[in-house]
Amino acid sequence: MTDLITAPNLTDADGFYEALIAAHQGLTPEQSTALNARLILLLANHVGDRDILLDALRKARETGR
Amino acid sequence: MADIFEQTLYPYRRSPDQDAAAPVRHPVIVVGAGPVGLAAALDLALKDVPVLLLDDNDRVSTGSRAICFAKRTLEIMDRLGCGQPLVDKGVTWNKGKVFFDERKVYEFDLLAEAGHRRPAFINLQQYYFEAVLLERLRELQAEGRPVQIRGRNKVTGVTRDYSRVQLTVETPDGPYTLDADWLIACDGAKSPIRSFMGLDFHGRVFEDNFLIADVKMEADFPTERWFWFDPPFNRGQSALLHKQPDGVWRIDLQLGWDIDREVEMREENVIPRLKAMLGEEAKFSLEWISIYTFQCRRMERFAHGRVLFAGDSAHQVSPFGARGANSGIQDADNLAWKLKLVLDGTAPESLMESYNRERVQAADENILNSTRSTDFITPKSDISHVFRDAVLDLAEAHPFARPLVNSGRLSVPATHAGSDLNGEDALPGGPERTRPGAPAVDAPVGDGWLLESLGTDIVLLGINTSLPDMSGGDTLPVTVLTIETGDDRLGALRERYLGRNEQAVYLIRPDQHIAARWPTYDRKAISAALTAATGGMS
């Protein structure tokens, strides 16, 4: 089984981050929330594996303030 | 002629039991002549188990209740000898469409493969369903089968001891007492019997109201299930449209929680809602209006000594998914053959515990599916709403999101995979859908169908292999049946039962669930599976 990758894995970290913020440019908080939801669903489908997704949900829930 | 639901179909008649010096004892009493009680009574009568059916009414139910009857229900009705009139009267459908706002985002086909006798669903008013079953009951009586129905016999009390259940029954001529070896309570969601016995009924209440309107109109909508999320004519809510026989359309409009039910039910408020949906120019007449809320819940156990609960008395779900009446019919299907064996003394009384286990498992599956649908249709938090809309937005363009759209996961029968009645699955690479615990899947055989050839006993089915006679030796009635895949030009039989094997032997229960399977005939293995399937005696 593959595990959730938590080591650096992005081919262009700064570039991705910039694109992520740019995608939200000009959106209201509601529109941004909706975009994030669509993005999560698209990426979740790409990952596919149930255990990896549940692990990601757990780690996202455990971190942050 | 009066509508079917206005006719007295089983009028009260004084029974000799009411004049007996001591309570008359019946092997099986079924309480409640709805779809589940009628199915149970028909099944038992066909097995020559004397059965008495009591109902506090004397006619079929009125109003808009169950409407979607699933393929599995029709297959069970075929076994009971009344599938065809149901299909003839009903509106057949396999497809559905889902709309979000003004856009169609998704469509589905519930029976995309050929080689099945029955469609995914028929729509039929519950009163017609009950009327067909009642007519079948009259036929069985005419044939001399041991079944009675007593109208306006209202059960007002139940007491029980180890081997007997005693009922007090109120009639127009006053009360009388009856004894039963077994009592089957099919007396609905508010089950008086459950109350008399002080039994629990736990679950989750959904805070929402739905308006049901049955309208009669000429309309050219296709015969499909149409579901709307947040449509212009019912903003922020959902809507569902189904076609029924006699030009009647069933409309379910979600209203939300904070409403005045009495006000919403008024025709002057219902008509504008319907016109917004159907168009200002639509010509329709109102057949029925009601408002419902629902709960997802079940009893902790469905078997309490010799009292068995079946249908809504034992479990309730939301209507999305058509899992109410359809699961109740499966309860009856599961229960009747077991009770027959127990009453014949060929299976131990403990076999009825498997009714409890298997149907509790099925109820949990139905409640899970129904709860998930309801949470998608009526999101319970802001973020849940955001994700719901995200799924619907994505579904239009991206196929991956379509399986996430949940407007109701429509009724399919439970596979009792972990049941202790199951024997071995010894067929290498055998198809998943016909593994032990699964209901047998239909397939063409010659000019007929596999399921119709199974009959009412336990069946030992040989596919592309001959089998010896099973009569004698075992006390249990086992029918031996052999079929050839060459008789099915579609190749469905091979695909559904053999996989890559050239032949197979299946042991199938009287409710058509598969008990065990092997590549070849093995007398000892079959005996062991037969013992397991019937509760460990024989």
Q: Could you count the other beta carbons within 10 Å of the beta carbon of residue A50?
A: 8
pLDDT at B537: 62
- With bands split at pLDDT 50, 70 and 90, how would you rate the model's confidence at B472? low
Q: Parallel, antiparallel, or unpaired for β B202-217 and B225-229?
A: unpaired
pLDDT score of B471: 65
User: Mean pLDDT over residues B408-431, rounded?
Assistant: 95
Q: Hey, what are B153's tokens?
A: 């016999």
Give ipTM to 2 decimals: 0.96
Minimum distance, in Å, between the CA of residue A61 and any CA atom of chain B: 15
Of B416, B438, B415, nearest to B507 by C-alpha is B438
Which pLDDT tens digit goes with each residue over B87-125?
999 999 999 999 999 999 999 999 889 999 999 999 999
When pLDDT is cut at 50, 70 and 90, the band that residue A2 belongs to is confident
Mutate to test the interface with B, among A39, A41, A42, A43 (most CBs of B within 10 A): A41
Please, what are the domains in chain B? 24-93+117-202+297-365 (3.50.50.60), 203-294 (3.30.9.10), 432-533 (3.40.30.120)
Q: Is A7 inside any structural domain?
A: no
CB contact under 8 A, B386 and A37: yes
Cα–Cα distance measured from residue B58 to residue B7, given in angstroms and rounded to the nearest whole number: 8
Q: Decide: B363 and B327 in contact? Cβ < 8 Å.
A: yes
Tell me if chain A has a CB within 8 Å of the CB of B401. Answer: yes
Tell me if A41 and B386 make a contact (CB, 8 A cut-off). no
Q: What does the pLDDT read at residue A65?
A: 67
- Is A10 within a domain? no
Q: What element of type H or E holds B132?
A: helix B126-142
**CA distance, residue A7 to nearest chain B CA (Å):** 28
CB B273 within 8 A of CB B223: no
Judge whether B384 is closer than 8 Å to chain A, CB to CB. Answer: no
In a domain, A54, yes or no: yes
pLDDT one-digit tens code per residue, A12-48? 999 999 999 999 999 999 999 999 999 999 999 999 9
Decide if B186 contacts B328 (C-beta within 8 A). Answer: yes
CA–CA dist B358, B174 (Å, integer): 39
Q: How far is CA B234 from CA B43, B134, B215, in A?
A: 44, 39, 17
Asked if residue A23 is part of any domain, the answer here is no
A65 interfaces chain B, CB cutoff of 8 Å: no
pLDDT of residue A1: 57
Q: With an 8 Å Cβ cutoff, is B394 touching chain A? A: yes
Q: Is residue A18 part of a domain?
A: no
- Provide the Cα torsion B138, B140, B144, B148; round to 10°: -60
Element (H, E) at B450: none
User: Cα(B390)–Cα(B386) distance, rounded to whole angstroms?
Assistant: 6
Average pLDDT of chain B to the nearest whole number: 94
- Structurally, chain A folds into a number of domains equal to 1
User: Is A11 part of a structural domain of the chain?
Assistant: no
Cβ pair A42:B391 closer than 8 A: no
Domain limits at A43? Answer: 28-65
Q: Are B244 and B67 in contact (CB under 8 A)?
A: yes
Interface list for A 2-31 with B (CB within 8 A): none
Give the pLDDT confidence score for residue A16 in this predicted structure. Answer: 98
d(CA B465, CA B450) in angstroms, rounded, equals 16
| Pairwise CB contact (< 8 Å): B387 & A33 | no
pLDDT digits (tens, 9 = 90+) for B478-493: 999 999 998 888 899 9
Mean of the pLDDT values across residues B508-521? 98
Is 90 exceeded by the pLDDT of residue A64? Answer: no
> Is the pLDDT reported for residue B467 higher than 70?
yes
CB contact under 8 Å between B401 and A41, yes or no, is: yes
Q: Examine residue A50 and state whether it is found in any structural domain, yes or no.
A: yes
Q: Across the interface, do B394 and A38 touch by the CB < 8 Å criterion?
A: yes
Q: At which residue do the structure tokens 């009922």 appear?
A: B167
Chain A's closest residue to B387, CA to CA, is A37
Locate all alpha helices (DSSP H) within B240-299, ordered by sequence: 261-264, 267-278
Scan for tokens 């995608």, then name that residue. A23
**Exposed / middle / buried, residue B99 (Cβ in 10 Å: 0-12, 13-18, 19+):** buried
Are the Cβ atoms of A37 and B389 closer than 8 angstroms? yes
State the smallest CA–CA distance between residue B378 and chain A in angstroms.
17
Is residue A55 in some structural domain? yes
- Please determine, for residue B283, whether its predicted confidence score (pLDDT) is greater than 80: yes
Question: Does the CB of A50 have a partner CB in chain B at under 8 Å?
Answer: no
Best residue of B388, B400, B405 to probe chain A, by most A CBs closer than 10 Å: B400
